[in-house]
Chain A
Amino acid sequence: MSTNETTIRRRITRPAFTSRLWFKNGVGAVIAVAALVAAIPVSVYDRDDFRAYRASRIPAHTVGPGTSVGIDGQEWSLGSVRQYGRSPAARRAAPKGTAITVVQISRSGTASHPARCTAYLIEGDRRWRAEEAYGGDFWVPPADDATGECTEPGSLQFSFLVPDDAHPSAVDLVDADRGITVRVRL
């Protein structure tokens, strides 16, 4: 038997590269990892977490200045933005270096699914929560046709205590799950 013949024979008797055990194990491991990765968007918990995170970053509706947007059967638009050093209606005057910002958002019509909300004034990554009617020293009571509760009909009014160097760009209305339902650009 020549050397050449021996080599050929060995090639034939040796199992093919793809039928080696380590290769099969490797393919199995890759499939297992791929299945785990693919399960993340499909998994109930991860999907809900991701949805909640997305809702907390991206507003469901955006109202720009000078525009009117229909949301849940109501017409929303930016009413007015005023700044006070001392508001006659607030319990206390704004301390030195701060101001009370009062934002009015016009709403008309009746909401089909009214939901509670919390208002935040936004400036880049800084934000201020609206003063509360109960205990808020710098809370300005809403005008007669306005309210501070998203669930009630009529226009909305929120007051915020902000430092003088603040240049807010929007008001975010946030629901109980921290999702931004409406962003009103100032």
Chain B
Amino acid sequence: MKIRNSLARLVIRLGTVAVLLAAAVFVADRLPYPTDVEAPFLSSGTVGQTVSTPTVTLQVQGATIADKLQLVSRVVAANGHWLVVEGTITSRRGPGYGYAQLIIGGRTYTPDNRAPTGTFPVSMQPLTAGIGQHGVWVFEVPDEVLKTPTAQFRAWVGDLSEIPRFFPRIPSITLDLDDRHTPRVSRIAPPKSVIVTS
């Protein structure tokens, strides 16, 4: 088809450009975030089970919910509750720290800064390849968490508190939060991490 009218041609061109730009914006707005595209592959496990990925081995012994955290010289009350996860983590490649996330009801919690020295992620010694460490991760969680049935605990070895980029494989442990599996105590003294070797 040939359009001889130059005004009509101009209108068609401008219209085509507008439609293409609008389509590009529509697509760009709906692209997934890089963190979703590069999300980790999770290796699922349960409490007591040893989960290994190429970079980390993790075994969670259990979790405890407490109201107060007993430090050396003082007691820290939570705005909600303390959820203390106890486990053994081993790096399989290189040095780093045992960072972790707790995912409950779509929310992500990171280990609390008020946790005493010697708890993960900043343990007494950095993690090193082939030498495991037993210790705890201390999270502060709101009250409604007590009504949530399960939580996901994910831990990795790295230099940053963010999950490593580019498709890492990360252990994801399912914790049952009912009071039979996760006992409630009024006060807990988090132990310092110790080196354990099999």
Contacts and interface: CB of A to CB of B under 8 A. Distances in A.
Interface stretch (B90-98, B143-151, B169-177): B90-98
A161 B95 CA distance: 11
B197 A127 contact: no
A135 to B, nearest CB: 9
B129 interface: yes
Nearest to A166: B130
Q: Which of A96, A162, A163, A164 has the most CB of B within 10 A?
A: A163
Interface string A115-135: 000001000011111000000
Contacts of A96: 197
30 contacts: A95-B131, A95-B195, A96-B197, A97-B131, A97-B198, A98-B131, A98-B195, A120-B94, A125-B93, A126-B92, A126-B93, A126-B94, A126-B129, A127-B93, A127-B94, A127-B95, A127-B129, A128-B94, A129-B128, A161-B131, A162-B128, A162-B129, A162-B130, A162-B131, A163-B129, A163-B131, A163-B197, A164-B197, A165-B130, A166-B129
Contact of A97 (B92, B128, B197): B197
A100 to B, nearest CB: 12
Contacts of B126: 129
* Interface bracket on A: 10 to 19
B125 interface: yes
A44 B168 CA distance: 29
A137 interface: yes
A161 B128 CA distance: 8
Contacts of A98: 131, 195, 197
Interface of A: 95-98, 120, 125-129, 137, 161-166
B27 to A, nearest CB: 20
A158 to B, nearest CB: 14
B124 to A, nearest CB: 8
A163 B195 CA distance: 11
Contacts of A163: 129-131, 197
B162 to A, nearest CB: 19
A137 B125 CA distance: 8
Contacts of B95: 127-129
Nearest to B95: A129
Contacts of A128: 94-95, 128-129
A95 B194 CA distance: 10
Contacts of A97: 131, 197-198
A162 to B, nearest CB: 7
Contacts of A125: 93
B121 to A, nearest CB: 16
A120 B95 CA distance: 10
Nearest to B194: A95
Interface string B183-198: 0000000000001011
